[in-house]
Structure 1
């Protein structure tokens, strides 16, 4: 989880490969209307996000694996927990200046850099009672995936 540019897709795909599980790209589950709003620089509303979260949760519950999903607010993570038993979150935490740099360098992505501040305003970091980890995500993606793999594999079975 995290804002645009935090590395969710890159680290998520690497983590899924390390764990030998499916990778689900949350951006692929957005309806066309959501993508059009974001391309136009319009932040999504809860009404826009609920169907997307339902689709993401249903897909993750059906296949298991690693899902890249912003899950910015506690209420969104609560919904995913309702839909997916045992879901864990990895919040990729990146400083605003680094996020801005990454977004400025990114080409061909629907999410404009102009939405960064609205995403940061909506972000509710993981609370201590939520299942998962917050990791500084300024390092190389391979190292972040290895760190998360170790964390996942150290969990008790079940």
Structure 2
């Protein structure tokens, strides 16, 4: 099984993803590590990425997912996956890829971003991400609200993924 913790910046993808991986006893990767230096520089400068910037990034993540699947290991990724077309590339028809949408209000997201230090994402890009976001529905992802502790979120996700797998 591959879990992808998704949502806009500040939603807790990395925190929840790392804790999910630890609780499930599997590996974790932050999709930010798959970005080119050019993409990171654009985001740091407050310049929104285009789809042309994102396609190679998404293909690199999908290649890593395929390698993990070929190895037969479970894995957790943190990835914004803002558009349905991005999620289609990442899933590639693989029913063992489960998205976990970390949904939050603008107020909660802004508060979290304001407290961040040393991250290359410019908080002014939040509006661009919110504009780009095509929220997945329950048929496409496990949906959880982020206005709770990461530990509670992780327990909720594990419970929901268990139910998702059964049916």
Deviation at 1:153, TM superposition (A): 2.9
2:149 is equivalent to residue 149 of structure 1: no
Indicate the SS of the match to 2:101. Answer: strand
Deviation at 1:141, TM superposition (A): 0.4
Q: Distance in 2 between matches of 1:155 and 1:113?
A: 33
Deviation at 1:154, TM superposition (A): 3.4
Structure 1 range deviating more: 121-130 or 100-109: 121-130
Note the 1:8-23 alignment, pairs <5 A: 8-23=13-28
| Structure 1 contact 9–25 (Cα < 8 Å) conserved | yes
* Residue 38 of structure 1: aligned partner: 43
| Structure 1 contact 61–85 (Cα < 8 Å) conserved | no
- More strand by percentage: 2
Of 147, 150, 154, which aligns to 1:138? 147
Deviation at 1:62, TM superposition (A): 1.4
1:112-145 CA deviation, whole Å, 9 max, x = no partner?
1100000000000103432x21111111001101
- Label 1:126 to 1:89 Cα distance change in 2 as closer, same or farther (>3 A): same
Structure 2 unpaired stretches of 5+: 1-5, 69-73
Indicate the SS of the match to 1:92. Answer: strand
Structure 1 range deviating more: 72-81 or 55-64: 55-64
Of 109, 131, 137, which aligns to 1:99? 109
* Residue 34 of structure 2: aligned partner: 29
1:74-130 CA deviation, whole Å, 9 max, x = no partner?
000011111755211111001001111111110000001100000000000103432
Of 125, 129, 134, which aligns to 1:124? 134
- Label 1:110 to 1:84 Cα distance change in 2 as closer, same or farther (>3 A): farther
Of 36, 46, 54, which aligns to 1:49? 54
| Structure 2 contact 142–161 (Cα < 8 Å) conserved | no
How many residues are treated as equivalent by the alignment? 157
Deviation at 1:155, TM superposition (A): 4.2
